[in-house]
């Protein structure tokens, strides 16, 4: 009986450590996936990810890469880098200017709408991003009075200095 108690106590003590996420390993897997998708070197994606993160220590950084768009902002040599974190997969959009094949500088970042709400998944669907024609588009799902689902789209456009909020519209989801 004493051995069984010791085993149970050891299992309870060790289980949080065993269940803890190895974030460095998760980030490496994300970086490899996105390197294959974009053609960027994994070291470049790692640098972008660290620059986009607000968490100083990588082992504590629970963010994941949601999207890397090399085309939608390419006219200004900009790259949209999107991460998500938290229980509701809240998005943070960061734009980097590409100075050379492996050198980038952070130009702009946003994690909340002008209303102060985060760009998160909801029970109605997933938040998503696109970069099109030099604009950053962020869509957040919501319910509408008729019980359907719509997306609020927040648009950010280049104003000659930085990306700024340029408008919001409701997009009805087709049924």
12-63 pLDDT, tens digit each: 444 344 445 688 888 899 999 999 999 999 999 999 999 999 888 888 889 9
93 CB contacts (<8 Å, ≥6 apart)?
Answer: 80, 81, 82, 109, 110, 111, 119, 129, 136, 138, 156
pTM of the model: 0.84
Residue 19: what pLDDT? 40
Identify the residue with better confidence: 149 or 6: 149
41 CB contacts (<8 Å, ≥6 apart)?
Answer: 35, 102
Dihedral angle of Cα 13, 18, 19, 24, to the nearest 10 degrees: 130
Helix (H) or strand (E) holding 42: helix 42-52
Residue 13: what pLDDT? 44
Positions of E strands within 18-102: 64-69, 78-85, 90-98
DSSP code, position 125: B
28 CB contacts (<8 Å, ≥6 apart)?
Answer: 42
Residue 10: what pLDDT? 43
Neighbours of 67 (CB within 10 A): 17
Positions of E strands within 11-134: 64-69, 78-85, 90-98, 104-110, 128-132
Helix (H) or strand (E) holding 156: strand 149-158
Nearest-angstrom CA–CA distance, 103 and 47: 9
5, pLDDT greater than 80: no
Beta bridge partners of 156: 136, 165
Within 81-172, where are the H helices? none
Q: What average pLDDT does the chain have?
A: 87
173 CB contacts (<8 Å, ≥6 apart)?
Answer: 125, 141, 148, 149, 150, 151
Beta bridge partners of 94: 81, 109
């Amino acid at each position: 009986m004493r051995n069984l108690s010791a085993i149970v106590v050891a299992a309870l003590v060790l289980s949080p450590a065993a269940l803890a996420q190895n974030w460095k390993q998760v980030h490496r897997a994300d970086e490899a996936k996105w390197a294959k998708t974009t053609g960027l070197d994994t070291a470049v994606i790692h640098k972008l990810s660290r620059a986009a993160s607000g968490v100083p220590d990588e082992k504590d950084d629970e963010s994941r890469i949601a999207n890397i768009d090399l085309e939608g902002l390419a006219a200004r040599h900009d790259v949209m880098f999107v991460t998500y974190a938290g229980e509701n997969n809240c998005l943070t959009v960061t734009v980097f200017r590409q100075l050379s094949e492996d050198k980038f500088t952070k130009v702009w970042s946003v994690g909340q709408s002008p209303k102060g709400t985060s760009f998160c998944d909801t029970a109605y669907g997933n938040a998503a991003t696109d970069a099109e024609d030099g604009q950053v588009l962020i869509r957040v799902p919501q319910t509408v009075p008729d019980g359907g689902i719509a997306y609020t789209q927040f648009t950010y456009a280049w104003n000659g200095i930085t990306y700024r909020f340029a408008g919001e519209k409701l997009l009805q989801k087709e049924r």
